[in-house]
Amino acid sequence: MSSARPPAPGAAPQTLGELGEFALIAEITRGLPAVDEVLLGPGDDAAVLAVDGPVLTTVDVLVEGVHFRRDWSEPYDVGRKAIAVNVADIEAMGGRAVGVVVGFSAPADTPLRWALEFARGLRDEATTAGVALLGGDVTRARDITVSVTVIGVLDGRPPVRRDGARPGQLVAICGRLGWAAAGVAVLGRGFRSPRAVVEAQRVPQVPYGQGAVAAGAGASAMIDVSDGLLGDLGHVARASGVVIDVDSSRFAVPDPLQAVAAATGSDPLRLILTGGEDHALAATFDSDRTLPDGWQVIGTVRELPAGGDPVVLVDGATWEGETGFDHFGRRS
């Protein structure tokens, strides 16, 4: 960013170009909390962690205009969302996130306030999730783009994979479904209410800690619902070679979703079954298990018929229409 025009003498910088790369990094990393596994955080060429056993890692990229819009979300919300959607993947493996590395790209004329509020959101959600911000990289780009890599541990448990669903098991969820999709429907029409669904679209409420709880309670397969419940359960069905049957009567439709459906002429059940970005957890458990608090049974796992394909059914029938989101236009 050295080619950007510096601020006038005595004037405070107002954009990223005026502040500069290294000053921005210093602002973002100042006063960060740490966790026990982090021996060395930001400030050197790499962070240093001390962990026992296998390590989990995953990455998500948030792109302006795809995952967030500046006219819909405050920068603080984008920072929180960047952490939440990544930690949810570690939760879905039954793990515990310990550290995140963030890559931040933005135009040089991005207001400095935007970047600092984004960084505040990163820090606050990292604290809520119990994860340390280890460092990352800052560079110039045409659009604001955020890449977050999260590192997690299993605390002595085996990972909960997608391929562990077995016939006769129950399917259960923990967290909200359909709220973020309702928020998109509202915001897309230029409205800001119901406020609860708008806030759900801006920042998902990940059930932090529940992935490890489910693993301890015997979850055999698990996934976080990022692209729609039916679509994501489809990944579990295909990986496990089973049929999953979702019981629609198990879902109570919250008032905000009913209000959005009524206002937009849509089906609230479709929001719940196919809406993404809530990052609830879905898992399978043996039918004789006592589910942990906060988990709700929503269906069953059935044996794959001879010659049949792994599929997700709703009330025993094929779901008509889209089941989830695909970034390259193909609907699953």
Three-state SS at 151? strand
Phi, psi of 299 (to 5 degrees): 175, -170
Indicate the Cα dihedral angle 196, 200, 204, 210, nearest 10°: 40
On whether both 299 and 175 belong to a single domain, the answer is yes
Looking at this protein, which amino acid is placed at residue 108? Answer: A
Has 315 been labeled as part of a binding site? no
Total structural domains within the chain? 2
Has 117 been labeled as part of a binding site? no
On whether both 118 and 177 belong to a single domain, the answer is no
Confidence of residue 96 (pLDDT cuts 50, 70, 90): very high
Has 162 been labeled as part of a binding site? yes
* CATH number where 215 lies: 3.90.650.10
Has 137 been labeled as part of a binding site? yes
pLDDT per residue as tens digits for the range 304-313? 999 899 999 9
* CATH number where 85 lies: 3.30.1330.10
Has 326 been labeled as part of a binding site? no
Q: Which residue has the tokens 């600092």?
A: 116
On whether both 223 and 128 belong to a single domain, the answer is no
Cα–Cα distance measured from residue 290 to residue 292, given in angstroms and rounded to the nearest whole number: 7
pLDDT per residue as tens digits for the range 36-83? 888 887 777 788 888 889 999 999 999 998 889 999 999 999 999 999
Is residue 276 in a domain? yes
pTM: 0.88
Has 279 been labeled as part of a binding site? no
> Which of 103, 129, 153 lies at the terminal end of a domain, its last residue?
153
Q: With 0-12 CB in 10 A as exposed, 13-18 as middle and 19+ as buried, what is 172?
A: buried
The crossing angle, in degrees rounded to 10, of helices 21-29 and 112-129 is 30
Q: Which two tokens stand for residue 112?
A: 């400095």
Q: Which helix (H) or strand (E) holds 171?
A: strand 170-174
Q: Which two tokens stand for residue 261?
A: 């459906």
On whether both 116 and 166 belong to a single domain, the answer is no
Has 323 been labeled as part of a binding site? no
Q: Which two tokens stand for residue 149?
A: 């890599």
Predicted confidence at residue 162, as pLDDT, reads: 98
Has 330 been labeled as part of a binding site? no
Cα–Cα distance measured from residue 266 to residue 260, given in angstroms and rounded to the nearest whole number: 8
For 253, the domain range is 162-318
Three-state SS at 198? helix
Has 45 been labeled as part of a binding site? yes
On whether both 193 and 121 belong to a single domain, the answer is no
